[in-house]
Amino acid sequence: MTDSGLAPLPAADRPEAAARLRDALLAASFTADGLLELLGAPAYAALARSETVPALRATRGDTPLETLVRLFLLQQPVAHARVAAVLPVEEAVEAGWLVRVGGDELAATVDVRPYGGPGGEDWFIVSDLGCAVGGAGGIGQHAEGVVLGVGGASTTLAGITVRTPVAAALDLGTGSGIQALHASRHATRVTATDLNPRALHITALTLALSGAPAAELREGSLFEPVRDDEKFDLIVSNPPFVISPGARLTYRDGGMGGDDLCRSLVQQAGERLNEGGFAQFLANWQHVAGEDWQDRLRSWVPRGCDAWIVQREVQDVTQYAELWLRDAGDHRGDPADYQARYDAWLDEFEARKVKAVGFGWITLRRTGAAEPSITLEEWPHPVEQPLGDTIRAHFERLDYLREHDDAALLAHHFRLVGEVVQEQVGLPGAEDPEHVVLRQHRGMRRATKVDTVGAGFAGVCDGTLSAGRILDAIAQLMGEDSVRLRAQTPAQIRLLVEQGFLEPVG
C-alpha cells in the first residue's frame, strides 16, 4: 500500500504487457457478453447494486472465465496454478497487474471491468480496488485520490455525447478514462486532463488494456493544462460536480463554493471550442430562494455559443446531503460524526439560501450566428440512450429555423419522423377529441399537444408537398380561409420542427 492507503498501480509504460493481458482476457471470454452468460441476469444485475454473493456463487468452478471474474471483479485471491493456466503470470506480476499474497496465491492490484463499446468493441475499464461501480466494493469510504470505475453518470455522458468525426477532443477530468476511450473512436487526437495524477495513470491503463490509441495526458484543474491558443472540436466532462462543504473526495467534490466549479467550467468552454464544436457536461446547480434556476443557468452560457440545458432531476437539500453522505459511507460510521457532517451540509446550504439542487446535462455549440439560441427545459421523463444523434439534430434544426423565415418555411417540404404516434384525448362518446397529442417513441420521447390543423398537417407530411400547399388543402377541406391558416400555422410548424417531430426534406 502507498502512504495514501491506495495500492500501487500497474506500470503505465508497458504496452506490450497490457496487450498480452488483453489477449488472455479475450481468449477466456472475459467480456461484457461473457460475464452475462456466465453469471446470469440476476447475478449480473446484483453486481450493479454492489452485491457480490450471487456472483461468488456463480464462480465456484475452475473455468478460465470464473478465475478471471474472481480475480479482477470480485478481488478474491486465486491459487497461482489456476491463474497461470489463464494469464501470463510472470509478466503480469512484473508489470504490476498482479501481486503475490499468502502462501501460493495471486491478487489483482486494480479492478478490471469488461465494458462493451458502442460499436461492439470489447473494452476494459480500470479503477482502484473496490471502486468499479457495480463491481466488488461499490462506492464507500475511500482514501483521498481514489479513482472510480463506470457509474451511471459516466454512461449517461457517454450516451449524450455527439459522435461525429473530429480532429481534436478534450476529456476534462478524465477519471478512469471512460470518455477518452469513447472519444478515441472518432477523434484523431484525444487530450485527457485531471487534477489527480493517479487518474491519469489509470486512464493510460484503461486505454492500453482496451487496445485504444494512447491519449495525451495532462495534469491540472479545469482548463489549466490547456494552452491559451489551443482549441477543440469536442469537449466532454463528468466533473466533480457535487455541491458540498469542503473537498473531501477528489472524484466528486469540486472544492469551490456552491456550484462555482460547474459555472466556471461552462463559462470557460466557449473560447476553447472551434467553430461548430460541441462542449458537453454533466452538472449540478443550486436552486436559490427568490431566483429562477433557468435565469441562473442562462447566465453561465458563454458568448458565441448555442446552448441546450436539460434539468433531469431536482432534490431538496436534505435528500441531496443524505445521498452524498451515504456515497462516502458516513452513515456506517459513528452516529455523532454523521450528524455533525449532516449539519455542516445544511449549514452551507442555509448560508447560501439554497432550497434544492438540480442535476442535468449542458450542451454548448460554438456558433457564428448573430443571436445564439439558449434552450432550457425540465425533462425528468425516460429517454432513449444513446442521445448523441438526437442532440446533434437539435442544433441542426436550430440552424434551419434561424435561416428560414415564415415564407421560406411554407415553401419547404417536411417529413414526419419515424415512430411518432397520434393520440386523441377526450370523453368517451364525444364527437371530437378535447385535444390531440403527438408522441415520439425514440430519442427524447417527447409528447406535444397540437390542434386539428397541426395534427392534419403532420399526418400528411411525407416530403411530397410543400407546407403551404398542404395548408391550402386543409383549408379547402375544412372550409377555412387559406390566407389565415398560412399566417397562423408557421409557429406550430416551427415548434414541431424544433422538437423533432418534423424534419425538413432536402
Give the count of beta carbons closer than 10 Å to the beta carbon of residue 152: 10
> Residue 485 has what pLDDT?
96
Query: Rounded to whole angstroms, how far apart are CA atoms 257 and 260?
Result: 6
What does the mean pLDDT of the chain come to?
93
> Residue 1 has what pLDDT?
42
The model's pTM: 0.94
Name every residue whose Cβ is closer than 8 Å to that of residue 429 and which is 6 or more positions away in sequence. Answer: none
Report, as an integer, the average pLDDT of 218-224. Answer: 95
Tell whether the model's pLDDT for residue 139 goes beyond 50.
no
Tell whether the model's pLDDT for residue 171 goes beyond 90.
yes
- Judged by average pLDDT, the poorest of 50-54, 207-211, 308-312, 366-370 is 50-54
Q: Binning pLDDT at 50, 70 and 90, where does residue 331 land? A: confident
> Residue 484 has what pLDDT?
96
Report, as an integer, the average pLDDT of 179-205. Answer: 97
Residues 14-37 have pLDDT tens digits of: 999 999 999 999 999 999 999 999
- For residue 157 the three cell numbers come to 455522458
Name beta bridge partners: 504: 414
Calculate ∠ Cα 161-207-267, nearest 5°. Answer: 40
Tell whether the model's pLDDT for residue 136 goes beyond 70.
no
Report, as an integer, the average pLDDT of 98-122. Answer: 95
Tell whether the model's pLDDT for residue 425 goes beyond 70.
yes
Tell whether the model's pLDDT for residue 354 goes beyond 90.
yes
Tell whether the model's pLDDT for residue 132 goes beyond 80.
no
> Residue 107 has what pLDDT?
97
Q: Residue 276: name the closest of 404, 392, 192 by CA.
A: 392
Report, as an integer, the average pLDDT of 102-109. Answer: 94
Residues 152-164 have pLDDT tens digits of: 999 999 999 999 9
